[in-house]
Amino acid sequence: MSKRILLCDDEAHILRAAEFKFKRAGYEVCCAADGQEGWELILRQRPDIVVTDCQMPRMNGLQLAQRIKNDPATAGLPVIMLSAKGFELSMTEIREKFGIRALLAKPFSPRELLQRVEATLAGEAQPVASYV
Amino acid sequence: MAFLAVACTTLGVAWVVEPFFAPTTWPARLGLVLGGTALLLGTIRLGLSQSTKAGASAQRYIDRLCELDSLGLQDDNSLDIVPVRKEDVQWRELAHKIRRRLAEFAAQADEVEMARAGVEVRIRRISAERDQLSEIVAGLSDPVLAIDPFGEIVLANPSAERLLDIRTTAESHPIFDQLQQCEELVNLLAETRRRKAPIQKSSELNLADSDGNERWYRVTCRTLTNPQESGGANDRNAAHGAVAVLSDISGTRAIQKRNAEFVSAVSHEMKTPLSSIRAYVELLVDGEADDEATRGEFLGVINDQTDRLQRLIDNLLSLARIEAGVVAVNKVPQSLNERLAETVRVLEPTAEQKDIRLTTDFSQLYLGVLADRDLLLQGAINLVSNALKYTHRGGSVTVRSKLNDQEVIFEVQDSGVGLSPEDCQRVFEKFYRVSKDRDMAQGTGLGLPLVKHIVEDVHGGRIEVDSELGRGSTFRVILPGLAQLSA
């Protein structure tokens, strides 16, 4: 059975590129334009993994990750975050407080993102501190 | 002595010769004694008269010396009006000696007087310099304070007194270590003072001013060594005095923070199109796009995003250039209506493409403004093209101009998506984009900040926005009219 992935980004082109890559890799893909929509899709579609942008309207990536972590129904759902900005938080905080498994800096490589997603799903520990 | 000798001799002779002459009679003896006495008295009289003459001569020379003023001392002949007699020579020589000594004393007194006058002039000059320095230090807007080796604040200009809430007078010197509100400053100065060799240290720290506002200061501390006290071996271990100069760098700090935020915002804005370009290029390179249509789609995205990046950079550059005053502003009196008509001509094709009715409602009056032609045109184009961007197909955009009490106004009214009150506040911020409208049009978040800068900073006008969500927005630019400018 193919894995289901939720992609969350307010930039339609980014969403489309990632969707294309994952579909070709055999994933079942659902897309959301912001954190709120993403949360609703998580509850409805029950994805196996979430890839989200950080800066989004309504609910940003960190808020979404925290909600996933704090809700017993979704806790444990792996989250990978894309961001064009550095964080004021430490990597430990990002991992422990928000339960984020990996961070990828924008501009990102769809190939690398796919590798990260596959590794995360395979249960491998991810190098969180992959960028500033 | 001479008189005594004569008298003794006379009496002695009288006594010796007495038996030979045999003046055995008492009258003869008495006569002889009387004769001797008379001879003795005569001799004494003669001696006294000699002595009186010498005394009078000495008195004349002394009187003469007393009459001499310091100038007369220089004149060798000044004593010679007293007739020179043999017996006066010794007095004359004595007087000359005294006169020479007096002349030397007088010359020395003159030298001392000159030195004293010189010292007095220097004291006055130093005192004036000190007053001037005190005045300069007092007038400095930067707080300055100095502490002596005992840790007492011996100097604090009014700025420092205000900042540290202290008062220094000639009688009372607050103890520096007891300043409660600035531990960091105390530590820094204490460290400067403890050093054996004089040093200069600086540090940035924040202090609350008298109104309780936190401000950043750059503090430069320097050891103060007293040259009179240094030199002894023991002094090398003693604490020195120190001086601290504080400069308020809150403004610089705020600019640094704004710059950092700006750079962060710019890089974020650049990374967004770059992300798309990189992702699609990689998909193409990896051969993920099988068919021509997909490849065409991907190349289209790359093309659009490259344009977006280019536009962003262009806008950034023009904003930076206008803000920095690099763009030459050439203000000439001109007709606002003409510029607005030009704007409408430029944008009519865009409006037609989107099926938006672009109408004009210009004042019949000549609306003269003192403006830079290109910048005014760019401002108007930005406003009208924004209105076209955020108005749905079939909507309308009106460009209006009017005169209101010497102020010249132009408005761009649209029937577009409108702005929330919060968005109205923030829409002129750099890189602020209304999130719900992002998909409607591509924008850099720099168009409206640029208009605001052109209107307010370059032309001394102001810009306002009225808007209602779902009903449309009106951007209003108010410029000083020519009549107002000449008044």
CB contact under 8 A, A13 and B436: no
Q: Is the pLDDT of residue A99 over 90?
A: no
pLDDT for the residue numbered B290: 86
Lowest mean pLDDT among B69-83, B177-191, B362-376, B424-438: B69-83
pLDDT score at A131 = 42
Q: Which of residues 380-409 of B touch A (CB under 8 A)?
A: none
Q: What is the pLDDT of residues B265-285, one digit of tens each?
A: 788 888 888 999 999 999 999
Average per-residue pLDDT for chain B: 83
Name every chain A residue with its beta carbon within 8 A of the beta carbon of B438. Answer: 10, 57
Nearest CB partner across the interface for A109, out of B267, B276, B278: B278
Instruction: Note whether B279 contacts A111, CB cutoff 8 Å.
Output: no
Question: CA of A13, closest CA in chain B: separation in Å?
Answer: 6
* A99 Cα distance to chain centroid: 11
Which of B267, B268, B282 lies at the smallest CB-CB distance from A109? Answer: B282
Nearest to B472 by CA among B410, B413, B384, B432: B413
Report residue B122 as tokens: 């220097």
Q: Which of B267, B277, B286 sits opposite A111 (nearest CB)?
A: B286
Per-residue pLDDT averaged across B138-163, rounded?
A: 86
Close Cβ partners of B92 (under 8 Å, ≥ 6 residues apart): B61, B79, B82, B84
Taking any CB pair shorter than 8 Å as contact, residues of chain A touching chain B are 10-14, 16-18, 20-21, 24, 55, 57-58, 84-86, 106-111
pLDDT level of residue A109 (50, 70, 90 thresholds): very high
Residue B313's H or E segment, with its range, is helix B292-323
Residue in chain B lying closest to A55 (CA): B268
Phi-psi region of B199 (alpha: psi -120 to 50; beta: other; left: phi over 0): beta
Q: Helices B336-353 & B373-389, crossing angle to 10 degrees? A: 30
Q: Do B279 and A110 touch (CB under 8 A)?
A: yes
Give me the residue from B283, B436, B439 closest to A17, CB to CB. B283
pLDDT tens digits for range B18-33: 666 655 677 777 887 7
- Closest-CA distance, A59 to chain B, in angstroms, reads 12
B116 vs A101: which has the higher pLDDT: B116
Q: Give the Cα separation of A99 and A62 in Å (integer).
A: 10
Look at residue B88 in the predicted model and tell me its pLDDT. 74
Instruction: Determine the Cα–Cα distance for residues B339 and B361; give it in Å rounded to an integer.
Output: 14
Percent of chain B with pLDDT over 90: 29
pLDDT per position as a tens digit, B74-98: 666 666 666 667 767 777 788 888 8
Per the model's pLDDT, the better-predicted residue between A117 and B327 turns out to be A117
Q: Give the residue from B371, B418, B421, B380 showing the smallest Cα distance to B399.
A: B380
In this prediction, residues A70-79 reach a mean pLDDT of 88
CB atoms within 10 A of CB B233: 6
Residue A23 DSSP label: H
Is the Cβ of B291 closer than 8 Å to some Cβ of chain A?
no
Residue B305 contacts A where some CB pair is shorter than 8 Å: yes
Q: Do B275 and A24 touch (CB under 8 A)?
A: no
Q: Which residues in chain B have their CB less than 8 angstroms from residue A55's CB? A: 268
Q: How confident is the model at residue B308 (pLDDT cuts 50, 70, 90)?
A: confident
Nearest residue of A to residue B290 by CA position?
A: A24
Q: Which residue has the higher pLDDT, B337 or B326?
A: B337
Q: Of the segments A2-16, B23-37, B140-154, which one has the largest average pLDDT value?
A: A2-16
B267 near A CB under 8 A: yes
**pLDDT on residue A25:** 92
Whether B70 shows a pLDDT value over 60: the answer reads no
Query: What token pair was written down for A8?
Result: 């969350």
| Res. B232: pLDDT tops 60 | no
Q: Is B436 on the interface with A (CB under 8 A)?
A: yes
What Å distances lie between residue B296 and A25, B280, B291, B309, B384, CA to CA?
Answer: 21, 11, 9, 20, 32
Would you say residue A132 has pLDDT above 50? no
Structure confidence at residue B147 (pLDDT): 86
* Number of H-type helices and E-type strands within chain B: 12, 12
Q: Measure in Å the smallest separation between the Cα of A25 and chain B Cα atoms.
A: 10
User: Do A107 and B274 count as a contact with CB atoms less than 8 A apart?
Assistant: yes
Nearest to A14 among B279, B435, B436 (CB): B279
